[in-house]
Amino acid sequence: MATANPIKRILSVNTSGEKGGRALPLGRQLVLQIISLFIAITVMFPIMYIITLAFSSNPSRPSTLQLIPTELSTEAFAKVLDRPTANPVTFVELLRNSLVLSLGVGAVSLLFAVSAAYAFARFKFAGRQFLMLAVFFVILMPGVGLATPLFLLFNGISIIDPESGQVIFNLRNSLLGVGIAMIAGALPFAIWNLKGYLDTIPKELEEAARIDGASHNRTFFQIVLPLAAPALAVTFFLSFMGNWQEFTLSWLFLNKPSDYTLAMTLYNMTGQYAQNVQWNQFSAMAIIVALPVAVVYIALQKQIVGGLTLGGVKG
């Protein structure tokens, strides 16, 4: 699959015939290279655009098209990493909110999902199909669909200071509330995803352990969980990625700027409330938000795509 030494390939082009049929004729190679390069340019176009803006010291939008940075100013990054918006919130606080939500929701939904997924993958019991359908129907509901009832229900849960009569804590207007609402969407997906993986793990090891006298719980903790570790990692990351980018619920629920997440801030920097968009700062922020997930996604690419299409391919 990997190309051998390109020079050798060019040299081997003319020794055609049946045996050398694997080598690509030079003319065709060039045509395909031009097409591939063109596609690469279209892919890189928006990315280069944002990188160029991010490293520019000029906050206004460029009036000419620039796709290669002419300067490497870190001014925008420095500003964004300090205090991204006019709100009195530092980058570190926003990062903390994003991390707390992403890691917390990912961890909690994984914790609850894994045993449920195991039950669906390995046990046969009355009502199994009905319960699986119940989980699946929550997945079918788009995230926005659960927003209204959760907003209304959580809005009714407050702690009121008995002396002043002021609301000290409102579940709707808190990171905790957003986190719980996000779990409502993340947990069914995690159950479904993990069940798909567990189905592919051969049962023989568990059966051997059972024959050797291990209890179901012991088999689960000592055989299944270690075997499922890669699946757990991918499921956690998928959840993390979704939570890291989560916008709809947090934007609907949260009012206090000190609770804002990075994704909300990014929207804030260019959305309806931004009078003068600082384009270099927005671009720098976009890169900062995108980079962590991008790196991990590329690292886990095979497992993620495999997992998403698993059900379909194996039928």
Partner 1 sequence: MAQLSLGAQPRKKSGNKADQNNLGYLYLIPAFIVLLVISFYPLFYQLLISFTDFQTKDLRLGLASPALNFIGLENYVKILTGGLPVQDFDFLRVLVFDLWWAVSNVILHVPAGVLIAVLLNTQGLWFKKIYRAIYILPVVFPPLVVATVWRNIFDSQYGAMNQALTAIGSIFGAAPVTLRWLEEYQAPISFLLPGVPLVWAYYAMLIANFWLGWPFMCVVATGALQSIPKEMYEAASIDGATGTQQFFNITVPLLRPAMLPAAMYGFTTTFNLFGLVFFMTGGGPARATEILVTFAYDLVKNQRLYGAAAAFSVIIFIVSTVIFLITNRVTRATESYEGA
- Please list every residue from 82 through 141 that binds partner 1, using CB under 8 A: 112-113, 115-116, 118-126, 128-129, 131-141
CB of 202 to partner 1, least distance (A): 12
> How long is the chain?
315
Is residue 167 classed as helix, strand or coil in its secondary structure? Answer: strand
CB of 128 to partner 1, least distance (A): 7
| 214 is a contact residue toward partner 1 (CB under 8 A) | no
CA atoms of 64 and 62, how far apart (whole Å): 5
Angle at 205 between CA 199 and CA 210, to 5 degrees: 105
Q: Which is nearer to partner 1, 89 or 285 (CB)?
A: 285
- The residue within the footprint of partner 1, chosen from 55, 77, 91, 192 (CB under 8 A), is 192
Taking a C-beta distance cutoff of 8 angstroms, is the pair 278, 58 a contact?
no
**In whole angstroms, how close is the CB of 100 to partner 1 at the nearest point?**
18
Contact map string, positions 232 to 271, toward partner 1, x by CB under 8 A: ------------xx-xx--xx----------x--xx--x-
Q: Compute the distance between CA of residue 167 and CA of residue 49 in angstroms, rounded to an integer.
A: 46
Query: Least distance to partner 1 from the beta carbon of 309, Å?
Result: 6
Residues 3-62 that bind partner 1 (CB under 8 A): 3, 6, 9, 21-24, 29, 32-33, 35-36, 39-40, 42-47, 49-50, 61-62
Q: What region, left, alpha or beta, does residue 165 occupy, with left being phi > 0 and alpha being psi -120 to 50 degrees?
A: left
Least distance CB 62 / partner 1 (angstroms)? 7
CB under 8 Å to 119, separation ≥6 — which residues? 125
Neighbours of 88 (CB within 10 A): 9
User: Restricting to residues 161-190, which ones interact with partner 1 according to CB under 8 A?
Assistant: 180-181, 183-184, 187-188
> Which range of residues in 76-84, 86-94, 99-107, 300-308 is near partner 1 by CB under 8 A?
300-308
Going by C-alpha positions, the residue among 269, 263, 97 that lies closest to residue 174 is 97
Across-strand partners of 160? Answer: 167
Please give the Cα distance from 50 to 53 (Å, whole number). Answer: 5
Residue closer to partner 1, measured from CB, 89 or 171: 171
- Give the max Cα distance, the chain: 93
Among 88, 156, 202, 213, binds partner 1 (CB under 8 A): 156
At 204, the amino acid letter reads: E
**55, 240, 260, 282: residue in contact with partner 1 (rule CB under 8 A):** 282
